Structure 1
Amino acid sequence: MSTITYPRLIKRVRAVLIDSILTIVAVATSLSIVSAVGVSSGIAKIMLIVLPILILDPILVTVTGGTIGHHMMGIRVTRIDGLSRINLVAASVRFIVKALFGWFSFIFVLTTARHQAIHDLVAHSIVIHKNPAGLASYDVLTERLPHNDPYIYPSAWRRFLITAAYWVLYTIIISVRAAIFTSQTCLDHQSCSESEAITSFALSLLLLLGIGWITVRGWSGKLYGGRRKLRTPSQAD
């Protein structure tokens, strides 16, 4: 395992964002085809929508070792050995768990020894660099060993509670901003102007991104109230 190197979380997030955009485009295209062809069967409609999603994630992961986003970021999904690709069953389970847990799954990348998200742990998979040669040293991570971590972290419960408090505060701030920029008619009757709809979408996106950022910062011990501390020489022993 010492020869296996792992990507930073930001690289995996970028891969997910790329895949999300491609999935939206693929599903929208499928819906257009369904409408243009005039498909009436409910099962056929569902299959035409689900098929591109399956192709873009579990099937590509099984056949090529990663999604389009993974390949664009220079990373791939393998079994724990870091050599062989996972099978379709594992890739499908991995995809389902990732879809269920969303961004929360990636928090575990910051704490697990092999930088695994929840869906990696369930599928017994890891995400590694395709070719670490030539990458900057800060982009190349190795297996996380307790005695190599220079920081002491607050307990998991403390980090969770601090993070949850920041979630609540941030959500209140975004909600107040939304109330300021949204008319009463839009709030009560969902009759919103184009500018209000755009503002609402922007605030919703900002809320999602903010929650994700807070979660990552909180779990890695970088929020006030639950900050990590440098080990002293005596604590490193």
Structure 2
Amino acid sequence: MQKTATLLDRTKASTIDILLLILAGAFATLALSYFENVPIGVRQSIFIALVLYEPVFIIFGGTVGDRLMNIRVRKSANESKNINILQSLIRFIFKLTFGWFSYISIFKNPRKRTLHDLISMTSVVTIKHSL
């Protein structure tokens, strides 16, 4: 079993990801402001890309913030394996639904898993190497 990621590392990773999404959204807004009559499909595509950032990156082990903090999201049954798209979507939906409340279970769970980790059968672990 790999070392479980700390709440502090998970919080730092989430903060990095939130800042990246804010910057990406601001950049997209600025870029689109230079064009007249931007098709709604373009705006929707950008929105969908920003929303799907986390679940897509998680199936490859982790988001940019996770990678910078040397943590990865893995299958709880086999922490050497990345999760699949279904687990990632379930995890994301419950993470959005419960918000920071989901993290309360870290204090009661010996493996420091959040509510969205428990529901999606995932674990967040620390890895030894960086990027």
Q: Shorter-normalised TM-score: what interval?
A: 0.7 to 0.9
Q: 1:25 to 1:90 in 2, by over 3 A?
A: same
1:127: which partner in 2?
Answer: 124
Question: In structure 2, how many angstroms separate the alpha carbons of the residues matched to 1:50 and 1:7?
Answer: 29
Identity of aligned residues (%): 30
Aligned partners of 1:26 and 1:53 also within 8 Å: no
Q: How far off its partner does 1:62 sit?
A: 0.9
TM (norm. structure 1) is 0.50
Deviation string, structure 1 residues 129-175 (Cα, Å, up to 9, x no partner): 1129xxxxxxxxxxxxxxxxxxxxxxxxxxxxxxxxxxxxxxxxxxx
Q: Within the alignment, does 1:82 sit opposite 2:68 as a pair? A: no
* 1:49-68 → structure 2 map (5 Å cutoff): 49-55=47-53, 57-63=54-60, 65-68=61-64
Deviation at 1:96, TM superposition (A): 2.0
**Kindly tell me: are residues 89 and 60 of structure 1, through their superposed partners in 2, closer, same or farther at Cα, counting changes over 3 Å?**
same
Q: Which has the larger radius of gyration?
A: 1
Contact 1:59 1:91 in 2 (8 A): yes
Specify every segment of 5 or more residues in structure 2 that has no aligned partner in the other structure, as ranges: none
Aligned residues: 127
- CA deviation profile, 1:9-38 (whole Å, cap 9, x unmatched): 111111111111111111222222333334
| 1:199-214 pair list within 5 angstroms | none
Cα separation, partners in 2 of 1:122 and 1:34, compared to 1, 3 Å: farther
Instruction: Tell me the equivalent position of 2:38.
Output: 39
TM-superposed CA distance for 1:53, in Å, is 3.3
Deviation at 1:47, TM superposition (A): 2.1
Secondary structure (helix, strand or coil) at the match of 1:127 reads: strand
Deviations 1:22-60 (A, max 9, x none): 11111222222333334132x4322212213313x1111
Counterpart of 1:92 in structure 2 is 89
- List gaps (5 residues or longer) in structure 1: 133-237
The code of the aligned residue for 2:33 comes to S
Report the residue type matching 1:66 in the other structure. G
Aligned-residue Cα RMSD (Å) equals 1.8
Say whether 1:118 aligns with 2:124.
no
Change (3 A) 1:89 1:12: same
Contact kept, 8 Å, 1:109 with 1:117, in 2: the verdict is yes
Query: CA distance change for structure 1 residues 24 and 7 in 2, over 3 Å: closer, same or farther?
Result: same
* 1:49-96 Cα deviation digits (max 9, x unpaired): 2213313x1111112x00111111111000011111011121122122
